[in-house]
Structure 1
Amino acid sequence: MTGTVSTERSVPSDNDPRFHGEPKLMTEPRDGVPDVIDTLDGFHRYCDALAQGCGPLAADAERASGYRYGHEDWLVQFKRQGAGIGLLDPIALGQQGANWDEFNQAVGDAVWIIHDSLQDLPGFFDIGMRPLNLFDTEIAARLLGLHRFGLSAATEYYLGITLAKEHSAADWSYRPLPRDWRDYAALDVELLIELEEHMTRDLKRQGKMQWAQEEFDYALREGAQPRKPHPVPWMRISHITALSHDRQGQAVAKALWEQRDRLARQYDIEPSLLLSDAAIIEAARKKPHNNREFRAIRSLNERVRIHTGSEQDKMFERYAPIQRAIKPSLWKTTIQQALTLPPSRWPTMPAQHHDAQTNAPKSMKYWQTHHPNRFETLQRVRATVAQIAQDTRTPAEIIIKPQILRNLCWTDRPNDRNVAEFLTEQGAREWQVHLVAASVSRAII
């Protein structure tokens, strides 16, 4: 199949903006697969092209999640009318002293069209880009009530085109980027401008354009904030709650996590490629005290291997030399040192406090068993929001975050609250407060 597909179709009626017919697969951009821009000359030329272009800017980014330690962007993709698609290597350009203010000036106040912007905005700001206006096609898809929110699902719904998506989990730090990877990256921005046009019409038709704009502005503000470190990083270990009542086990887990993190940072490798979370939990539970017990835990003695049955396996194998450099004896020493710690030096898991200003419990069984009156109020509030969602054809979780409703009802006298003020304090946008505050106030009386 050729890369170019026809998007000609009958204009949808005001009552049904969907594409009707058999969707077509787009395998490459209409103008071909671009090369990566990794020189200052190429950067300057593309900035000039962007400045001469017009309209919004389609944007996306690729990281090396699952392979490298950091979360930096290894490729950023753009498209603008008159400038075409640009695949930029921000690492190489940064090493050569690229000035991203030149890029910002070229783009100006153009609307950035991004799918799932909170994934990409932090990286853009870290590089030095400064988007001023945003249209998030995933947020729009949710507001419009689409059942599937992925980019390919959205382009299929509105444009009748599905995108070839084989390299989403690739190691984007690999150089040179193969042609099919560049193809994948370019497709991520190829249709965003057309998609935004259709979604904007649909948002206006449904009377949701102002809602969407508030959500876009909120996402842009959030994406511009510095990344917040986890307050207790080692507690990000998967299934750490298995050690809730084992403080010595927590000491072993914490020591292994910190050692793994130090090595991963040093070698610039994904921590779980050195030692899996499952291995940390197993070691913390079994607490091997001698060589025999240590050898019995296979996950501590074998190199981490990931088998997907795909091209990914070769990508993971590129990191085998680093994995082999970390000997099992290092984990053994770390465990032994943790086991010698006195109880006074064992870590303590922070207590979980349930209050309306943080997070009320999510378990409905807990609500029903321990706070039946609060549970009854919450059920009335949820039913009210569900009716609003049905009336507006908008998912209830988009109308208002479920956690905000739980927080609101996490008291025996919720009717003492000014609901509108509470929702605002909890982060609800103005459109959400205006839509639900009065009805919810009646529900909690």
Structure 2
Amino acid sequence: AATLEEAGKSRIAEEEFAAVLTRAPKPPKAEPWRRLSGMHALRGTRALAIARALWTARDAYARETDIAPGRTIPDSAIVAAAAANPASKGELSGVKAFTGRASRSELDRWWAAVEDGRTTEDLPRLRGTGEATLPPPRAWADRNPAADRRYKAARAAVVQRAEELDLPVENLLTPDTLRTVSWEPPAPIATETVGAVLAAHDARPWQVEETASIIAHAFVAAAQEPAAESNTES
């Protein structure tokens, strides 16, 4: 407490602590099994069905035993089993990449999941329904050049302000929030409207106060760049 007071960050800490206590849990993802590492290597809906069944069985076992799912069988084991599509429990046991502390002790459980995946008629789509997500920033220059300019300008301004406050930049404003407001800014662009968007994405009052104005100014400057370049060329 004394260190925070000396650094002038007591209010920041209080708001952050309050946010942790009142923050609503994130809604569960529609198809969390699709986040398995290495899923891109699987081909066909049957392999996806096996991976889904194994993920579900692993998740249930992890809850029963209060063990992190990855410490029972790793993602790589699930993907390997799904790709192999074993026809028997013996074949599953023979998949070299099917490893993990519970890969053999719970073999009956995993084989039951594989059988379910091999026989189910409820096959998943090759691609998930997806959630509303932005493209990675590296693709913005081609897909949305104006957003790319806004993001780069605002990012630089936020990084500079974080350095001035002696804070990690992600603590000053989460990267997702900055990307969201950069991709689709409010109209008109002003400190108040940008601040409202930040607050709507759970930015704390101190974060809004520190970043709304500099982001708005960065957006305005970024919007003038093409005009400046055009004037230079002419």
- Name the TM tier (shorter chain): 0.7 to 0.9
**How far 1:261 moved relative to its partner?**
3.4
Between the aligned partners of 1:265 and 1:379, the Cα distance in structure 2 is: 42
| Paired position in structure 1 for 2:196 | 421
CA distance in 2 between counterparts of 1:231 and 1:267 reads 23
Higher relative contact order (CA 8 A, sep 6+): 2
Q: 1:373 to 1:333 in 2, by over 3 A?
A: same
Question: Which amino acid letter does the alignment assign opposite residue 351 of structure 1?
Answer: G
Letter in 1 for 2:15: E
Shift of 1:332: 2.9
1:397 aligns with 2:170: yes
1:351 and 2:126 are equivalent in the alignment? no
The question of whether the paired residues in 1 share the 8 Å contact of 2:154 and 2:215 is answered with yes
Matched, 1:220 2:5: no
Structure 1: 5+ residue runs without aligned partners? Answer: 1-195, 306-319, 355-359
Change in Cα spacing, 1:233 to 1:264, as seen in structure 2 (3 Å) is farther
Give 1 or 2: higher helix fraction.
2
Percent identity among equivalent residues?
A: 27
* CA pair 210-278 structure 1, distance change in 2 beyond 3 A: same
Structure 2: distance between partners of 1:401 and 1:271:
27
Structure 2 partner of 1:367: 140
Task: Name the residue aligned to 1:435.
Answer: 210
From the two aligned structures, give the one with the greater strand fraction.
1
Q: What's the CA shift for 1:265?
A: 4.3
1:385 counterpart residue number: 158
> 1:274: Cα distance to partner?
4.2
> Aligned partners of 1:266, 1:339: CA distance in 2, in Å?
25
The CA deviation at 1:297 is 0.5
TM-score (norm 2): 0.75
Rg larger in structure: 1
Looking at structure 2, the residues matched to 402 and 269 of structure 1 have their Cα atoms a distance apart, in angstroms, of 31
Asked if 1:277 corresponds to 2:81, the answer is no
Tell me if structure 2 keeps the 8 A contact 1:274–1:323: no
* Alignment of structure 1 residues 160-309 onto 2, 5 Å: 196-197=1-2, 199=3, 203-222=4-23, 230-232=28-30, 234-235=32-33, 238-239=36-37, 241-242=39-40, 246-266=44-64, 270-290=68-88, 293-300=91-98, 304-305=100-101
Q: Encode CA deviations 1:67-115: one digit per residue, 9 max, x unaligned.
A: xxxxxxxxxxxxxxxxxxxxxxxxxxxxxxxxxxxxxxxxxxxxxxxxx
Over residues 4-57 of structure 1, what are the superposed CA-to-partner deviations in whole Å (9 max), with x where a residue is unaligned? xxxxxxxxxxxxxxxxxxxxxxxxxxxxxxxxxxxxxxxxxxxxxxxxxxxxxx
Tell me the CA shift for residue 282 of structure 1.
0.8
Mapped partners of 1:260, 1:353: distance in 2: 27
Structure 2's unaligned 5+ residue stretches are 221-234
Write the letter of the residue equivalent to 2:179.
Answer: R
For 2:104 and 2:72, locate their aligned partners in 1 and report how far apart those are by CA, in whole Å.
Answer: 6
Counterpart of 2:111 in structure 1 is 332
1:214-252 alpha-carbon deviations (Å, 9 max, x no partner): 112212223xx5x55633465276316426764322210
Closer/same/farther in 2, CA of residues 267 and 350 from structure 1, 3 Å limit = same
Instruction: Name the CA shift for 1:229/1:244 in 2 (closer, same or farther; >3 Å).
Output: farther
Contact preservation (8 Å) 1:415, 1:444: no
Within a 5 Å distance, the mapping from 1:36-51 to structure 2 comes to none
Query: Mean alpha-carbon deviation: is it higher for 396-405 or for 331-340?
Result: 331-340
Aligned residues: 215
1-structure distance, mates of 2:129, 2:119: 23
- Structure 1 counterpart SS, 2:124: coil
**Corresponding residue for residue 227 of structure 2:** none
Q: Deviations over 1:331-360 (max 9, x none)?
A: 334323322223xx1124231323xxxxx3
- Look up the equivalent residue of 1:253 and give its one-letter code: A
Q: For the Cα contact (< 8 Å) 2:173–2:207, is it kept in 1?
A: yes
| TM-superposed deviation, 1:280 | 0.9
Deviation (angstroms), 1:287: 1.5
- The alpha carbon displacement at 1:277 in A equals 2.4
AA matched with 1:209 = S
Contact 2:33/2:56 (<8 A) preserved: no
Instruction: Name the CA distance, whole Å, in 2 between partners of 1:245 and 1:444.
Output: 43
User: 2:58·2:73 contact (CA, 8 Å) conserved in 1?
Assistant: yes
Contact 2:42 2:79 in 1 (8 A): no
Superposed counterparts of 1:118-133, under 5 Å: none
Q: Structure 1 283/240 Cα, relative in aligned 2: closer, same or farther at 3 Å?
A: same
Q: Secondary structure at the match of 1:416?
A: coil
The letter for the 2-side match of 1:409 is S
Contact 2:147/2:182 (<8 A) preserved: yes
Query: What's the offset of the Cα at 1:257?
Result: 2.2
TM-score when scaled to structure 1? 0.42
RMSD: 3.1
